């Protein structure tokens, strides 16, 4: 009989794939826990998230605790040590259990020679917790568990809020829902959730946003299966409110997958839009179809590059375009802590160039009098106003719109063009929005 994997073994193998091999957490976590009982799978997910959330701190502490660097082929031992430190410093495990079980995990992954090293380093961490905490406090990289380049970029973008923003990125994100207000009133949705035993609270804005007090299986929520409720971060919900599509309009969701905003745009107009959902990834576009099927809504789904118009565009301009561009995703680090490990400083200029290309391509598809909403889930100026401002300055028919028809986003930070939403505002992720109108007849 095959030996069943332990939760810690599953955790270290998933984390190893991220930090040593560059895999995304989304791609490796669920396969890693697939054979575990539900309770153990949940515990394992929590440990992986905690380890990755603090990994920029943990890897430094591990490195400083070693007499000599680990060999490349022993990288998994460093990951396992980081996981053990995460249990001691940031998790709910009893201290000596963390040491014992981490050493046992080394045996399970066929690294028995590392047991002595693991015992020595983790026991020293238990004895010298005060010294570790002092070391962490003196170094911003350790204190914020964030790469130095990203700390600098956040400090530049948020000079008066950098500490709060960096602190927020270490928190767990809440589970926020969107009520389809055309089919269900927010008050009725809240009452139904509470009657079913789910504690939740309504947001004052945007309309239809509510947050659950505890994470849960969303498929068990009343109204989810028939499309009256959807999972969507509160900051992301502003996109449909800002673009405000009207029934009968021709709308392009230019980077549509996985489809949360696509569905919201259609809900806003009672499904009465000629909406094209475009994405260059045909596999991810299937997620859009699944979302729309659950919502009982329809759109034209097209797998193509936005700029390659000869392959997909019929020449009819759009009344409104949502351009939610690929970005560094630094605003959603709470949900995807692997970003801090996988993202590099030299990714940002490359992303900004692609964002500028997509903005130019989308603008050419917009009719005079139409509006375009540029959106990112990035916290960084280089991907936000530094992309939109040069475009607006160089484009004679581009006019900046200060806000959508429902007014400005409460608490958002105005930029030279557009607004940035800091992570944690109303519990939401970090976002940037800039609304442009194409002037003309």
First to last CA, the chain: 74
> Residue 209 sits in a domain of what CATH number?
3.30.70.1170
132 and 184 housed in the same domain? no
Residue 164 lies in a domain: no
94 and 193 housed in the same domain? no
Residue 167 lies in a domain: no
Residue 319 lies in a domain: yes
Burial 88-112 (b: 16+ CB within 10 A, else e): bbbbebeeeebbebbbebbebbebe
Domain region containing 31: 7-145
3-state secondary structure of 204: coil
Q: What is the DSSP track for 346-371?
A: THHHHHHHHHHHHHHHHHTTEEEEEE
Residue 152 lies in a domain: no
Strands of 312-405 (E only): list them: 318-324, 366-376, 398-401
Residue 231 lies in a domain: no
Q: What is the pLDDT along the chain (441 residues), one digit of tens a residue?
A: 345 789 999 999 999 999 999 999 999 999 999 999 999 999 999 999 999 999 999 999 999 999 999 999 999 999 999 999 999 999 988 888 999 999 999 999 999 999 999 999 999 999 999 999 999 999 999 999 999 999 999 999 999 999 999 999 999 999 999 999 999 999 999 999 999 999 999 999 999 999 998 889 999 999 999 999 999 999 999 999 999 999 999 999 999 999 999 999 999 999 999 999 999 999 999 999 999 999 999 999 999 999 999 999 999 999 999 999 999 999 999 999 999 999 999 999 999 999 999 999 999 999 999 999 999 999 999 999 999 999 999 999 999 998 776 678 999 999 999 999 999 999 999 999 999 999 986
> Residue 61 sits in a domain of what CATH number?
1.10.940.10
- Would you state the pLDDT for residue 408? 85
300 and 395 housed in the same domain? yes
137 and 189 housed in the same domain? no
CA distance 437 to 401: 7
Residue 379 lies in a domain: yes
372 and 255 housed in the same domain? yes
- Would you state the pLDDT for residue 4? 77
Residue 383 lies in a domain: yes
Rounded to two decimals, the pTM is: 0.95
> Residue 365 sits in a domain of what CATH number?
3.40.50.150
Decide: 264 and 239 in contact? Cβ < 8 Å: yes
199 and 325 housed in the same domain? no
CA distance 362 to 358: 6
As annotated, the active-site residues are 377
Angle, CA of 253, 257 and 261, to the nearest 5°? 55
Residue 161 lies in a domain: no
What's phi and psi for 318, nearest 5 deg?
-100, 150
CA distance 302 to 311: 10
- Would you state the pLDDT for residue 93? 81
25 and 105 housed in the same domain? yes
- Would you state the pLDDT for residue 1? 36
Can you name the residues that pair with 324 across neighbouring β-strands? Answer: 375
Q: Which two tokens stand for residue 70?
A: 């680990």
- Would you state the pLDDT for residue 3? 54
CA distance 399 to 395: 9
3-state secondary structure of 341: helix
Say how many domains are in the chain: 3
Kindly give, in sequence order, each residue whose CB lies less than 8 Å from that of residue 224, ignoring residues fewer than 6 positions away.
218, 230, 294
């Amino acid at each position: 009989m095959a030996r069943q994997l332990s939760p810690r073994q599953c955790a270290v193998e998933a984390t190893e794939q991220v930090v040593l091999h560059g895999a995304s957490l989304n791609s490796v976590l669920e396969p890693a826990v697939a054979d575990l009982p539900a309770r153990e799978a949940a515990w394992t997910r929590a440990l992986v998230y905690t380890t990755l959330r603090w990994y920029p701190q943990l890897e430094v502490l591990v490195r400083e605790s070693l007499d000599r660097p680990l060999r490349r082929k022993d990288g998994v031992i460093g990951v396992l040590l980081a996981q053990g430190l995460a249990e001691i410093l940031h998790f709910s495990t009893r201290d000596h259990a963390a040491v014992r079980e981490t050493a046992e995990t080394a045996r399970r992954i066929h690294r028995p020679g590392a047991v002595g090293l693991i015992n020595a380093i983790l026991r020293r961490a238990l004895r010298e917790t005060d010294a570790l905490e002092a070391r962490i406090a003196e170094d911003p990289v350790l204190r914020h568990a964030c790469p130095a380049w990203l700390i600098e970029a956040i400090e530049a973008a948020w000079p008066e809020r950098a500490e709060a923003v960096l602190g927020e990125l270490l928190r767990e994100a809440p589970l926020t829902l969107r009520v389809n207000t055309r089919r269900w009133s927010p008050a009725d949705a809240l009452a139904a959730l509470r009657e079913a035993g789910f504690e939740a609270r309504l947001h004052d804005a945007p309309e239809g946003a509510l947050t659950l007090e505890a994470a849960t299986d969303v498929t068990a929520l009343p109204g989810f299966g028939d499309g009256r409720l959807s999972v969507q971060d509160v900051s992301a919900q502003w996109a449909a409110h800002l673009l405000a599509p009207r029934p009968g309009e021709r709308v392009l969701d230019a980077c549509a997958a996985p489809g949360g905003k696509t569905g919201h745009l259609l809900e806003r107009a009672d499904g009465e839009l000629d909406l094209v959902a475009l994405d260059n990834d045909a596999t991810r576009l299937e997620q859009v179809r699944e979302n729309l099927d659950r919502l009982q809504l329809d759109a034209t789904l097209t797998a193509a590059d936005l700029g390659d118009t000869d392959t997909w565009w019929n020449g009819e301009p759009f009344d409104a375009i949502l351009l939610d561009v690929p970005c560094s995703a630094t605003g959603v680090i709470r949900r995807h802590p692997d970003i801090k490990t996988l993202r590099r400083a030299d990714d940002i200029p490359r992303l900004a160039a692609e964002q500028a290309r997509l903005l130019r391509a989308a603008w050419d598809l917009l009719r005079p009098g139409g509006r375009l909403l540029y959106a990112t889930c990035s916290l960084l100026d280089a991907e936000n106003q530094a992309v939109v401002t040069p475009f607006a300055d160089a484009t004679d028919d581009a006019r900046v719109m200060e806000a959508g028809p429902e007014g400005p986003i409460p608490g958002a930070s105005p930029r030279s063009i557009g607004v940035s939403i800091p992570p944690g505002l109303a519990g939401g992720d970090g976002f940037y929005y800039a609304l442009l109108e194409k002037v003309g007849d």
